Amino acid sequence: DMFTWDNENFVFHIDPSSWLVNFINDQGLENDIIDNFREIVNSKVEPNFNLEKGEIIFKLATGDNDSENGIKISKGEESIFIWSIFYSILLAAIENLDMEVEDRTTGYFDNLKYIIIDDPVSSIDDSKIVAMAVRLFETINKSKAKLKFLITTHHALFYNVLFNSFKRNTKEYNFKPLILTKKDKKYE
């Protein structure tokens, strides 16, 4: 709900007065978001931010001055871009919580205890889903913060990559995979 796509002008909108835009500005996360997006998308599509207006315009970088600005991205690229924003915030949260309180760049996450990630892989192809799942596991694995994660998905591949990563890792987790099933008109 935080983002809307303007199909006529090929502009991705976000409320410029939202906490998200303020946090991106305060922490200087634009380049982190772009890097995270590029790592997953693995293409020449690049976002350009104008957070004062609450606009993100995508371009196709050609390596010269003839870059094509204002292109329409796919639904999968849109999902990856939104994931890149929240993943960058997740990294900032973990990085801050791993520091001593007096060394933190923000107090925004001081009371954070839970991270809930609700199916971030909608409309994304399988190779990118694997990359996202592996990066998410690595991020959780390297965190020293005592955060609890709840990750939901309906995508079997995303689930399996995360499940196998946690099961095979030597670090102790209180890892509990759950599957929602319907039995006699009741969910278990």
pLDDT in tens, 79-88: 999 999 999 9
11 phi/psi in degrees, rounded to 5: -125, 135
Name the β-bridge partners of 91.
none
**H or E stretch covering 15:** none
Q: How many CB atoms lie within 10 A of CB 2?
A: 13
**Burial, 117: exposed, middle or buried (Cβ in 10 Å; 0-12, 13-18, 19+)?**
middle
pLDDT per residue as tens digits for the range 51-73 = 999 999 998 877 766 667 788 89
Closest by alpha carbon to 53, among 105, 6, 8?
A: 6
Residues linked to residue 57 through DSSP beta bridges, in sequence order: 11, 48
3-class state of residue 186 by DSSP: strand
- Residue 3, beta-bridge partner list: 14
Unique residue bearing structure tokens 């935080």: 2
How many Cβ atoms are within 10 Å of 93's Cβ, its own excluded? 18
| 142 confidence band (pLDDT: 50, 70, 90) | confident
> Which residues face 114 on adjacent strands?
148
- The pLDDT assigned to 66 comes to 65
Can you tell me the distance from the alpha carbon of 147 to that of 163, in angstroms, rounded to the nearest whole number?
18
- As a whole number of angstroms, the distance between CA 41 and CA 180 comes to 30
Confidence of residue 33 (pLDDT cuts 50, 70, 90): very high
Mean pLDDT of the chain: 89
